[in-house]
């Protein structure tokens, strides 16, 4: 147990990398993941994942093509922040297999796993551990269980890493908050799980609302999200960079968005992240205001 996925990521980085090691990570992706690795002296190698066909996600072929003799591991977040897209199970197994063949590790951030869309038979997305028991997995109570401020998460590591992680955890944090752990036990009652499931279903509806709304005002969503609560859309047709677009949206429409610059290099100027954590009515209102802004841009 850790103080959120963030502390699990710190422990994993402390255990897994040495200065000068290279770690492959998707561009765009959650910025703290690469910054935590870099704070331990590793070099985050941003692998372009900007094709709609590749769903803005890593695949085994691009992992292989960016591999060097300094590469020590691969970091995947599925479903992803900022794109809300998942790596298909077979591809994820292939990525982890590629790392394993080379004596490297695969760290999978599954913080949005339970907020992944279910398949046509109603089955939830499976953890990478179903195909690769050696993967290092990070997860948290922050998203599916909505306990962000309680700072509670966890890390699943191969047996050999357990004493290493325990020693590091003891030095960095002593323990994850005991009151938060007691509170989190209440997540696993039938009633709590029903609330969380209803919330996941609401995110599916909000995704549809946001994608249709954005496309309706001329802001394309190149890849439909299948998890988390984000929509990553393209503002290049507006004539503004994503930074300018976000500033104008904030000042003129009073809508808060996150520019692509936060998430990497390749989509830094072209894409913007919208969070569907706001209620459906607020999303509708926000998108209507963005529509007015887009119209004034001509």
Ligand X SMILES: Cc1ncc(COP(=O)(O)O)c(C=O)c1O
Site string for ligand X, 239-278 (x = CB under 6 A): ----------------------------------------
Taking the complex as a whole, the smallest distance from the CB of residue 247 to ligand X amounts, in Å, to 22
Position 142 contacts ligand X (CB under 6 A) = yes
Beta-bridge partners for 105: 73
- Comparing CB distances to ligand X, the nearer of 137 and 293 is 137
Which stretches of the chain are assigned E, i.e. beta strand? 22-27, 43-48, 71-77, 105-109, 136-140, 153-156, 230-234, 258-259, 271-275
Judged by CB under 6 A, the stretch of 2-10, 100-108, 194-202, 275-283 that binds ligand X is 2-10
Judge residue 295's burial from the number of C-beta atoms within 10 Å of its C-beta, 0-12 exposed, 13-18 middle, 19 or more buried: exposed
Judged by CB under 6 A, the stretch of 4-12, 192-200, 212-220, 261-269 that binds ligand X is 4-12
Taking the complex as a whole, the smallest distance from the CB of residue 10 to ligand X amounts, in Å, to 10
Residue from 268, 269, 274, 267 nearest 51 by CA = 267
- Comparing CB distances to ligand X, the nearer of 62 and 140 is 140
Among 73, 84, 153, 286, binds ligand X (CB under 6 A): 153
Using N-to-C axis directions, what is the helix angle for 190-216 and 280-297, rounded to 10°?
Answer: 20
Q: Given the rule CB under 6 A, which residues bind ligand X?
A: 4-6, 30, 77, 81, 109, 111, 140, 142, 148, 153
């Amino acid at each position: 147990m850790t103080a959120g996925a963030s502390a699990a990521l710190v422990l994993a980085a402390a255990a897994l990398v040495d200065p000068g090691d290279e770690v492959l990570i998707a561009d765009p992706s959650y910025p703290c993941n690469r910054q935590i690795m870099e704070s331990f002296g590793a070099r985050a190698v941003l692998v372009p994942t900007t094709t709609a066909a590749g769903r803005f996600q890593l695949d085994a072929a691009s992992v292989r093509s960016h591999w060097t003799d300094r590469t020590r591991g691969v970091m995947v977040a599925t479903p992803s922040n900022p794109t809300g897209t998942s790596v298909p199970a077979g591809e994820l197994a292939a990525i982890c297999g590629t790392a394993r063949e080379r004596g490297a590790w695969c760290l999978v951030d599954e913080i949005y796993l339970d907020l992944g869309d279910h398949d046509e038979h109603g089955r939830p997305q499976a953890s990478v551990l179903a195909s690769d028991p050696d993967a290092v997995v990070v997860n948290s109570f922050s998203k599916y269980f909505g306990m962000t401020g309680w700072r509670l998460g966890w890390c699943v590591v191969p047996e050999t890493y357990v004493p290493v992680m325990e020693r590091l955890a003891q030095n960095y944090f002593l323990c994850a908050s005991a009151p938060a752990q007691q509170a989190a036990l209440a997540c696993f009652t039938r009633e709590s799980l029903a609330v969380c499931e209803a919330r996941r279903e609401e995110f599916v509806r909000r995704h549809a609302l946001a994608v249709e709304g954005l496309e309706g005002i001329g802001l394309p969503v190149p890849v439909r999200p299948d998890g988390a609560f984000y929509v990553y859309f393209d503002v290049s047709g507006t004539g503004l960079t994503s930074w300018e677009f976000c500033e104008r949206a904030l000042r003129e429409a009073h809508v808060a968005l996150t520019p692509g610059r936060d998430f990497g290099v390749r989509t830094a100027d072209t894409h913007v992240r919208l969070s569907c954590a706001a209620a459906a009515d607020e999303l509708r209102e926000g998108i209507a205001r963005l529509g007015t802004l887009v119209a004034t841009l001509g």
